[in-house]
Chains A and B, each alone.
Chain A
Amino acid sequence: MIEIIEASKTFNAGRTNQFIAVDKVSCKIGRGEVTILKGPSGSGKTTLLTLIGCMARPTSGRILLHGIGKECLIGLGAEDSVEITSLPERLLTGIRRSAFGFIFQHFNLIHGISVLENVMLPAYPIGDCMPEVRRRALELLETFGISRHAAARIEQLSGGEMQRVAIARALINDPVMIIADEPTAHLDSKLSGEFMELFAGFKALGKSVLIASHDPIVYDAPLADAVIEMRDGRIIGAGTRP
């Protein structure tokens, strides 16, 4: 479980263009659940995702990981939680790599290299042996029905295929949580529906899923366990579904 306590993120603090992207947000994200951050553009969803995913640090507040990322730190007991906001970058990197898989709005796939290499990329710093990483990557491409494109370059793929590559890449290190930022923004309704089906599969595997979206296909989907509604950097509503 992830616990966010009074987290705030201010950009350009103290300057005339100061902007509070996340304002004293407190919430809990359950393990093995699908949680949706819902809200219009500029509501702070993406910033909150980056704070939870160890890609940025809050200006104030704390974020606790219960049962996640402990293996990256020494000296933690079975009941201890990991407080990520006080960790230096070198420790955050380990947690980010092993605990979270990211699917970005614009996919952020690397052009000029193959689909297979894109999927394998996040595993390089982990240090696993390459044949094993390659086997895992091919298995994921097979799972998502794009193994025939393994040798193809990214720029040769359609939007839907690129998204599947992005999902495969997010899963290469077998993360505890998958974080997706506006994953359906560039997909039509059919592909968006297929995407949600894939996420239902992740939930069935016991993975936690955190999605930021203002697409009704996502936040009205029956697989969502909790929906947190944001506006102007604050939580204006949160609810769980049976």
Chain B
Amino acid sequence: MILHPAILALLTGALLTCLMMLYAGWYGVRILRSWDLQSGSELQLELEKRTYLISTLVSYALAFELISLFLFIFTADRLHLLFTGAMCAAGTLNANGFGYPLLLLKIVNFLLAGVWLIVNHADNMGHDYPLIRIKYTGLIATAPLSLYEVYYLYRYFSELHVDVITSCCGSLFSLERPGISGDLASLPSTPMRIAFYAVMAATLICGAYFYRKGRGGYLFSALGCTAFVVAIASIVSFISLYIYELPTHHCPFDILQKEYGYIGYPLYASLFGAVVAGLGVGVLTPFRSRGSMSQVIPAFARRLTAITLILYLLFTLIVSYKIVFSSFRLGS
């Protein structure tokens, strides 16, 4: 294993997060089996007291989970210098069979962690534990993924060997490459541009409507998720071309490098932040009339909507700026 400080930080953080999640999951089973707010039993009061401790600890662990996605990408990007053939994180992730599955797993865990933090925040604003069962069911479901992440992280980093010859991003995200990366790269740019701006416009309009009227939460959340997928595909399909000013370079990782002003970080941060907030709206909507949540969720969902709209707008503005002011022009 390469003893890089960031690798050690990622492994240690993931291990601690996993232990916390397993403990919280075990505690969640007790909650699901024994929780009875009508009871004043010693067990019930003990569960009530402990749930605040657990949710506080898990919140910190999951906040690390959010940050660790970016730390992971950053680390993969920094390590590319060690591998022959690698030009950025794309090559490092391709150095063994665990890289890309791990990235996918970390994205899934990022989204789950973000949504759980939103649900937890809403639950903590109420006084009658309205989302307690949802919260702990989510933790129980997420705990195995956390365990998988530790396993994949360990296998990925322990099997990174500097004598490996890997592929560069130009090869991985080329039009001829079979698989998802090649499919994304070969998406036609004009329809993708139309799809990108259409889905962003639909999300912004639907979000503005939900913000003003409080109706259409599910649709807005679904559009937010669609916008995320379309935006990721758009980055590979055509946005990257304007940033690199090259007609054949579709890599979604090079934009994280200094040569491109680290523009990938604000792009991805706004994208991931927006989708998590948008998902939060959809997840909270079914509980908007449950107990004290009737007073909490409408205002909280509006704030989440505003965050989603601002972040997607920011993403769209950055992309549009690069398209308009880039000296590169795509033919129709």
For the complex, what is the distance from the CA of A45 to the CA of B44, rounded to whole Å? 24
Q: Give the segment of B58-66, B125-133, B160-168, B183-191 that binds chain A.
A: B125-133
Can you list the 7 inter-chain pairs with the closest CB atoms, starting with the nearest?
A: A75-B292, A62-B40, A75-B295, A60-B42, A74-B295, A61-B40, A73-B127
CB within 8 Å for A86 and B48 given contacts A74-B126, A74-B292, A75-B295: yes
Beyond the given pairs A74-B295, A76-B292, A91-B127, 17 more chain A to chain B contacts, judged by CB atoms under 8 angstroms and listed by A's residue number, are A8-B42, A60-B40, A60-B42, A60-B45, A61-B40, A74-B125, A74-B127, A75-B126, A75-B291, A75-B293, A75-B294, A75-B296, A85-B48, A86-B45, A86-B128, A86-B129, A88-B52
Give the nearest-CB partner of B129 in chain A: A86
CB within 8 Å for A60 and B41 given contacts A74-B296, A75-B296: yes
Q: Are B37 and A86 in contact (CB under 8 A)?
A: yes
Residue-wise, chain B 106-140 has the 8 Å CB interface mask toward A (1 for contact) of 00000000000000000011111100000000000
Chain B positions 43-83 with a Cβ under 8 Å from a chain A Cβ? 44-45, 48-49, 52
User: Footprint of B on A, CB under 8 Å?
Assistant: 5-8, 57-62, 73-76, 85-89, 91
Closest chain B CB from A74 CB (angstroms)? 4
Q: Which residues of A contact B48 (CB under 8 A)?
A: 85-86
Q: Could you pull out 9 A-B pairs where Cβ atoms are within 8 angstroms? A: A5-B40, A58-B45, A74-B125, A74-B295, A75-B127, A75-B128, A75-B291, A75-B295, A86-B128
Q: Are A85 and B127 in contact (CB under 8 A)?
A: no
- How many residues of B sit at the interface, in one of the four size bands? 20 to 34
* Residue of A7, A57, A88 most packed against chain B (CB within 10 A): A88
Q: Which residues of B contact A57 (CB under 8 A)?
A: 45, 49
Closest chain A CB from B175 CB (angstroms)? 56
Per DSSP, chain B at the interface is helix
Closest chain B CB from A80 CB (angstroms)? 10
Give the nearest-CB partner of B299 in chain A: A74
Closest chain A CB from B129 CB (angstroms)? 7
Q: Which residues of B contact A76 (CB under 8 A)?
A: 292
Q: Are B45 and A59 in contact (CB under 8 A)?
A: yes
For the complex, what is the distance from the CA of A145 to the CA of B294, rounded to whole Å? 49
Give the nearest-CB partner of B52 in chain A: A88
Closest chain B CB from A9 CB (angstroms)? 11
Q: Which residues of A contact B40 (CB under 8 A)?
A: 5-7, 58, 60-62, 85
Q: Which residues of A contact B44 (CB under 8 A)?
A: 60
Closest chain A CB from B281 CB (angstroms)? 20
Give the nearest-CB partner of B124 in chain A: A88
Give the nearest-CB partner of A5 in chain B: B40
Q: Which residues of A contact B292 (CB under 8 A)?
A: 73-76
Closest chain A CB from B58 CB (angstroms)? 15
Q: Are A85 and B295 in contact (CB under 8 A)?
A: no
